[in-house]
């Protein structure tokens, strides 16, 4: 019997449980489906597709070496799968369990219905860090740790279907599946690049990771930069964790920064799965606030001028604008700056997170729905369980860019502004020669807008029934942090999940 091995966000042959399962069932058709409807969504972009296309090219070479060429088909998933079923007598479908956006969740529902009707047995292989139909958060971390300690899976030979034996594979990778966008400095896709990132981080770049990750300037090199490779699966999270553990054993006892940085790296791999689990448990997270009391907190129709200025890096608040311009150019930001720009959009500009989240997702080459959607809600104060944390962009600019190197790199029009006024050019005595001419006046007063936002969010927390629902949100989604003392205390939410520095 013929098995289709459906690749989605697991574009590798190493440590791929779905590949191992399919290989043991007879002839295999490795398949990637290019879905136009997916790439027409507002959270998809040309930079993401370009990265993925590079991953597919390398995956095709690796699969050909294992004996079965990758088949690339463009169309709606059910139609593609059914055509292969009819042509080759397919009776099995194997894939990993995908935790993606709501569109992919609904697509998988349609595939499941088709498989039942067509008599195709669909086996979905669990991801090591995420539990489908999880029994709950109690004990989740321990179960995740146990799965990660298992051995990595080596690739195995595949038996190709005779009619698909062309070593070059079937079907071309579309060049323009998503509208192209300009991202000159985006990362390059493919497993070779992912391994180079991992190796360079663990042996050279990562020594000062713990200290440097918060700076958009230092973090550009000090962070692992593995996020797009984990998002599209050229590396498995277990591979990263195992490699990190091996490096931890090598530097045991050292006092040069490596021990703390590697411990932080492992912690953030765990937090990654924590956020992925939230979306797995609540697939509609991209459309509703985690706590329903916040549904009408902000206008459903966003201020179009503010929205446009935010994404153009023209808000008049330098550190925010510098970050947004870096994101447009590179497809990446460090975790603290992601939190800050989302906080600014939600609190200071008072834009609903559902308006900004998909447009931000477009700009991230490493867009991972489970992390992105959870972070957007957290930084907008709509979860009902997280501390309301409103970043002060002026303060962040002074702390994270004290010499103004980062800000001036991305805002060259501020080159002549003295350091003391760089983050508040409106306070400069020569502001009249700059603002409204080469750089915009600030859209909002950062302090006043933050104060008004804080009052509005806290007012919701005082509403009837808020606490009761918040307890349910915590029970379903919060991490379980062990008590720090011997006294018996309930596990509580750990605010460190704000910090994802991959």
Task: Mark the binding-site residues for FAD, compressed into ranges.
Answer: 209, 265
**17-23: long-range contacts, CB 8 A cutoff, minimum separation 24:** 17/96, 17/125, 17/126, 17/153, 18/94, 18/95, 18/96, 18/125, 19/153, 19/155, 19/156, 19/158, 20/153, 20/156, 21/94, 21/123, 21/125, 22/92, 22/94, 22/158, 23/156, 23/157, 23/158, 23/159
Of 295, 347, 343, residue with least CA distance to 466: 295
Q: What are the residues facing 72 on neighbouring strands?
A: 32
3-state SS record for 323-355: HHHHHHHHCCCCHHHHHHHHHHHHHHCCCCHHH
Q: Is residue 437 exposed (0-12), middle (13-18) or buried (19+ Cβ within 10 Å)?
A: exposed
| 199 vs 207: CA distance, rounded Å | 12
Q: Is 209 helix (H, G, I), strand (E, B) or coil?
A: helix
| 138 vs 49: CA distance, rounded Å | 37
Q: Compute CA distances 257 → 198, 220, 240, 262, 425, whole Å.
A: 18, 18, 19, 9, 37
| 339 vs 341: CA distance, rounded Å | 6
Of 386, 391, 387, 384, residue with least CA distance to 462: 384
| 204 vs 206: CA distance, rounded Å | 6
| 355 vs 357: CA distance, rounded Å | 6
Annotated binding site, which residues? 209, 265
Burial per residue of 294-324, b for 16 or more beta-carbon CB atoms within 10 angstroms, e otherwise: beebbeeebbeebbebbbebbbbbbbbbbbb
Residue pair 255/266 in contact (Cβ under 8 Å)? The answer is no
For 246, other C-beta atoms within 10 Å of its C-beta total 10
């Amino acid at each position: 019997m013929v098995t289709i091995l459906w690749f989605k966000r697991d574009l590798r042959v190493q440590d791929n449980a779905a590949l191992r399962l399919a290989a043991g069932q007879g002839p295999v058709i490795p398949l990637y489906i290019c879905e136009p409807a997916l790439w027409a969504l507002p959270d998809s972009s040309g930079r993401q597709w370009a990265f993925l296309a590079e991953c597919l090219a390398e995956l095709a070479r690796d699969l050909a070496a294992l004996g079965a060429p990758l088949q690339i088909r463009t169309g709606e998933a059910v139609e593609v799968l059914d055509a292969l079923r009819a042509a080759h007598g397919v009776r099995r479908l194997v894939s990993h369990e995908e935790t993606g956006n709501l569109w992919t969740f609904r697509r998988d529902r349609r595939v499941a219905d088709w498989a039942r009707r067509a008599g195709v047995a669909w086996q979905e292989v669990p991801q090591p860090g995420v539990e489908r139909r999880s029994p709950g958060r109690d004990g989740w971390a321990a179960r995740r740790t146990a799965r990660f300690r298992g051995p990595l899976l080596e690739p195995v030979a595949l038996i190709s279907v005779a009619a698909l034996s062309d070593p070059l594979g079937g079907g071309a990778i579309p060049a323009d599946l998503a509208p192209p966008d300009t991202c000159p400095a985006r990362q390059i896709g493919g497993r070779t690049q992912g391994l180079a990132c991992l190796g360079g981080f663990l042996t050279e770049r990562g020594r000062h990771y713990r200290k440097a990750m918060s700076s958009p300037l230092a973090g550009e090199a000090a962070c692992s930069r593995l996020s797009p490779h984990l998002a599209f699966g050229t590396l498995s999270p277990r591979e990263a964790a195992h490699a990190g553990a091996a490096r931890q054993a090598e530097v045991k006892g050292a006092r040069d920064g490596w021990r703390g940085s590697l411990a932080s790296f492992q912690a953030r791999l765990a937090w990654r799965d924590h956020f992925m689990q939230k979306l797995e448990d609540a697939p509609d997270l991209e459309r509703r606030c985690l706590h329903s009391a916040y549904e009408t907190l902000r206008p459903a129709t966003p201020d179009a001028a503010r929205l446009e200025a935010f994404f153009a890096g023209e808000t008049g608040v330098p550190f925010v604008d510098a970050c947004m311009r870096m994101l447009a150019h590179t497809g990446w930001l460090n975790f603290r700056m992601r939190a800050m720009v989302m906080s600014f959009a939600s609190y200071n500009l008072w834009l609903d997170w559902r308006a900004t989240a998909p447009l931000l997702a477009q700009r991230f080459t490493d867009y991972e729905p489970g992390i992105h959607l959870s972070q957007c809600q957290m930084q907008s104060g709509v979860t009902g369980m997280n501390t309301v944390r409103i970043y002060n962009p002026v303060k962040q600019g002074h702390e994270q860019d004290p010499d103004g190197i980062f800000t001036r790199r991305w805002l060259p029009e501020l080159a002549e502004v003295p350091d003391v006024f760089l983050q508040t050019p409106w306070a400069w005595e020569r502001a009249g020669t700059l603002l409204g001419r080469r750089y915009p006046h600030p859209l909002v007063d950062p302090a006043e807008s933050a104060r008004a936002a804080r009052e509005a969010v806290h007012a919701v927390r005082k509403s009837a029934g808020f606490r009761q629902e918040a307890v349910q949100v915590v029970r379903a989604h919060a991490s379980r942090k062990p008590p720090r003392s011997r006294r018996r205390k309930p596990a509580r939410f750990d605010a460190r999940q704000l910090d994802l520095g991959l």
